[in-house]
Amino acid sequence: MKVILLSDIERVGTRGTVVTVKRGYARNYLFPRKLGLEATKAQIAQLESIKKQLASKDAKITKRLTDFADRLGLVSVKTTIKMGQEGAFGSITNADIAALLAAEGHEIDKRSIVIAEPIKGPGVYDITVKLGHEVSATVKLWVAEEPA
Q: What is the mean pLDDT of residues 75-80?
A: 95
pLDDT band (50, 70, 90) for residue 116 = confident
CB atoms within 10 A of CB 145: 13
Q: For residue 133, what pLDDT is reported?
A: 87
User: For 19-73, how does the pLDDT look when each residue is reduced to its tens digit (9 = 90+)?
Assistant: 999 999 999 999 999 999 999 999 999 989 988 998 999 999 999 999 999 999 9
What's the mean pLDDT in 66-90? 91
The strand order across the sheet containing 36-38 reads 18-20, 2-5, 36-38
pTM for the predicted model, two decimal places: 0.70
Domains by residue range for the chain, with CATH: 2-59 (3.40.5.10), 69-145 (3.10.430.100)
Distance CA 13, CA 15 (A): 7
Separation CA 143–CA 114 (nearest Å): 17
In our burial notation (b when 16+ CB lie closer than 10 A, e otherwise), range 64-84 reads ebeebbeebeebebeeebebe
